[in-house]
Amino acid sequence: MSTPVRAASRTTGPRTFAVWAPTPERVRLHLDGDLHPMTEKDGWWTTEVPAADGARYGFVLDDDDAVIPDPRSPRQPDGVHEASALYSADTFAWTDDAWTGRPLAGGVLYELHIGTFTAEGTFDAAIERLDHLVDLGVTFVEVMPVNGFNGTHNWGYDGVLWYTVHEGYGGPEGFQRFVDACHARGLAVTLDVVYNHLGPSGNYLEKFGPYMSEGANSWGQTVNVAGAESDTVRRYIIDNALRWFEQFHVDALRLDAVHALADTTATHILEQLAVETEALAAHVGRPLSLIAESDLNDPTLITPRAGGGYGLTAQWDDDVHHAVHAAVSGERQGYFGDFGSMQCLATTITQGFFHAGTYSTFRGRVHGRPLDRRVLPASSLVAYTTTHDQVGNRAIGDRPGFSLTPGQLAVKAALILLSPFTPMLFMGEEFDASTPFQFFTSHPEPELGEATAKGRKAEFASHGWDSEDIPDPQDPATFENSKLNWDEVTEGDHARVLDCYRALLALRAQRTEITNPWSTGVHVDYDEDARWIVIHRAHPTAGRGLSIACNLSDSPVTVPVGGTPLLWWDEPTPNATASATTVPGHSFVVLE
């Protein structure tokens, strides 16, 4: 059964209102205070009524007087519990006609949260900082979820109206302005979307039909993507994804926690989405990428469909983060327990996954599956020194710079930005921001806020963190404290770290050895006791290459590799025989 086609968007005139609602026996349209009957066929209720952009509307189910927002609401100006508003997304005056998009391979991602990226916390304020990102050298701006949630501020993963854009950020038109401004500067846009669960406040979907299943994951009830009547639910998800590409000109989607999508059908919803995304990319004439977040270490996600996989473009790789962070910082609690050795770091840099059919002590079982680097490019793995999770899910939201030296931060940056993977930065890391990124919520319901705070304390017990140190997510100060301080970018060590990031990304853009998407030309030397590691990046065709020598100890070490120094944190000392280099403590050097 196909989805009823809505009338072409227009600012005035007749509108076709349609909603899938197989559960109620009667559905009426509530439009600007008036009720209109709707006609049902195959679970879809429709009616055509004159209406203008901005008109408030919703649906009244059976004999209940409550007006419920449209599950596909394009705008919620008064919050997720109130009426929807008509918005014609295709009337926006785009200026990006010349934009041809960017492939993910060779790109650099920059993850940000609109509410804390600037003091104002809006799309328009974020536009004012885009030139900083261009100057830094990133090519993709990855925006954490912006769809409708209850409250004024939130990480975005409590969304309940997936087709909306949070009004506090600037609404749908504000997001379109942001994407248009990114494209004008040569920046592609990635949007973080959540299809594995809905937030705890404002989810009315079950009143309409079987959108949810009986199962549950870490965040709540799972979405019905494989049970009875799931075909229309799957269409609800895929239509949403394609809408961001078509109506908002987004270039890539980051798919949150896909391991929590309980799909047992023969064609997984991720494969279905990949097929339709590829078809749309051919139609619009620009690359459209799908990036999965998954903790399974399963290459099936990124294996081409011809090889039996789902055909996604890339997936996040937490093993790289864990290997780098544990080796540099010395942390071993929780899921860092198996990481930290130079051997682990070398294995992960060359193979992509550390746990690839190996025993995970954190999970108490064998985990992961090997990735064939002759078949899958390393660029299909996204690597990072930190993310919103790896900062915000620490007890106090502390960034690595709270406990590491600037030199250690530089070593981490070199390991990631000059690796064979697609690198991603988290906002503020490029200048060692002194502000934390903490977990914050603004649930209007006191009992929900209290339950969230208690849940955080219980979650962190396994990491050995003192629950008394955990800030209250509901305290407005927790949100305010997480906003970046842009005055820091020109100050002291903050400015030096920023210069280092800029230089690393400039070198990445200049050298084919670094942007080469294949890891087959990568090999690693290391010394477990002396705590140094050298990553060799061979040119794919020429008989030359680069070596990235990193000293993770706090004392100088001599590494058995020579060459011309191109870039460093602290100046190295070449060996008299030119066959070795002395690297200062907590430093790196790139040698040609």
pLDDT tens digits, 31-50: 999 999 999 999 999 999 99
pLDDT at position 12 over 80: no
pLDDT at position 2 over 60: no
Active-site position among 293, 319, 389, 513: 293
Quick one: average pLDDT of 204-227?
A: 92
**What's the pLDDT at 544?**
82
Tally of CB atoms within 10 A around 342: 21
Active-site position among 142, 167, 251, 256: 256
Contact 208, 61 (CB under 8 A): yes
Is 293 annotated in the active site? yes
Closest CA to 128 of 138, 143, 118: 118
The residues near 499 (Cβ < 8 Å, ≥ 6 apart) are none
Place 450 in a pLDDT band, splitting at 50, 70 and 90: confident
Place 466 in a pLDDT band, splitting at 50, 70 and 90: low
pLDDT at position 96 over 50: yes
Is 276 annotated in the active site? no
The CA-based dihedral angle spanning residues 244, 245, 248, 254, taken in that order and rounded to the nearest 10 degrees: 50
All domains in the chain, ordered by first residue: 14-91 (2.60.40.10), 109-348+357-499 (3.20.20.80), 510-591 (2.60.40.1180)
Quick one: average pLDDT of 502-518?
A: 96
Quick one: average pLDDT of 150-179?
A: 97
Helix residue ranges per DSSP H, 84-170: 114-117, 123-127, 130-136
Instruction: Kindly report which listed range (211-225, 402-416, 475-489, 496-510) carries the lowest average pLDDT score.
Output: 211-225
Percent of the chain with pLDDT over 90: 89
pLDDT at position 462 over 60: no
Percent of the chain with pLDDT over 70: 96
Report d(CA 405, CA 584) in Å as an integer. 13
The model's pLDDT over 74-90, given as tens digits with 9 standing for 90+, comes to 999 999 999 999 999 99
Mean pLDDT of the chain: 94
**What's the pLDDT at 56?**
98
pLDDT at position 303 over 80: yes
Is residue 132 helix, strand or coil? helix
**What's the pLDDT at 215?**
84
Quick one: average pLDDT of 530-555?
A: 93
**What's the pLDDT at 13?**
81
pLDDT at position 4 over 60: no
Q: Which pTM was predicted?
A: 0.96
More confident residue, 142 or 464: 142
